[in-house]
Amino acid sequence: MIIMDYSTLVLFGQETPKSLEREDTFRSVCEQVASMLGRSGCSLICRGQINRQWPPSAGPKPRGGKVAPKLIQRWSQAAKNGLGSFEIFDDRWSEFSPPAAYGAIGTYSSVRTTTPGVGEGGAENYVVVAVRDSVLPEAFGRLKELGRNLVHEFSVLYGFLERDIGWDTPDPKLPGFSANMIDVGFHDAVRAHAKAGECLSRVVSRVYVGNIVRESHLSVVVDAIRCDVFNPPEQWGDHIYLETRGDPGADPLVMEAARRFFHLIDG
């Protein structure tokens, strides 16, 4: 049975001018993500990877373990040596049971030598947070507030929020297997941009319930956003938050009405 009560926040960014590999930036983002997931009541553990060769002068590599301030500090100090990925999750996660709470912070190292925000990945870093409403009531609203804070922490290009989705979905081509797992599925948005050769700062791959965009993503001026399709726009610093009045992922009519206000990859 697919559990359809996850809310998710996904942010994509570039490494300049506010890099996720900066110690203070990583620590602030990590602490906020951990704090949010901690409200679920789940026991949280973490693990991570470093992309570059570890310098001997840096001492032993940080290890995974129970989330605690000292461990977050250690990973924050290590991030400058080439952060690959860092995950925080419910310690009950197994092949039989997905985590009720999950967070990921990472970089796409393969695009470091390309134009910022463009290239193989279309983005240079990401932050993902997902939690079930059954363990954190009003999870969508809490993630929205987290997103409002995080857009000021690092150089966010674009982001989105979803509600009432599953950790995964059945794979139509492989019966008995799953696809689009939350911990890896968000990469599809980046791959779509890479395939189209489009930048995440200009074009979106699809419309979500919550859309964290800039004016460059919009096909109309903000004042022309229709109130029968979206709730009133919210200004989040340099970003605009647009929330649809229905779920475009579940209702084709909502998607059709909302998509005309964005520059989409497929036009």
Distance CA 9, CA 103 (A): 9
Would you say residue 102 has pLDDT above 80? yes
The whole-number pLDDT of residue 252 equals 94
What is the average pLDDT across 39-68? 86
**Which pLDDT tens digit goes with each residue over 202-256?**
889 899 999 999 999 999 999 999 889 999 999 999 999 999 999 999 999 999 9
**Residue range 17-24: mean pLDDT, rounded:** 92
Break the chain into its structural domains and give their ranges: 6-158
Residue 111 pLDDT: 42
List the one residue out of 24, 73, 66 whose CA is nearest residue 47: 66
pLDDT of residue 120: 46
Integer Cα distance of 85 and 108 in angstroms: 9
- In this structure, the number of other CB atoms found within 10 A of the CB of residue 101 comes to 29
Angstrom distances, CA of residue 20 to CA of 24, 61, 84? 9, 18, 11
User: What global pTM score does this model have?
Assistant: 0.91
Query: Chain-centre distance of CA 217, in angstroms?
Result: 18
Q: How confident is the model at residue 179 (pLDDT cuts 50, 70, 90)?
A: low
151-174 per-position pLDDT tens digit? 999 999 999 999 999 998 765 665
CA distances from 158 to 39, 52, 206, 214, 240 (A): 26, 26, 12, 7, 10
Q: Which amino acid type is present at position 38?
A: G
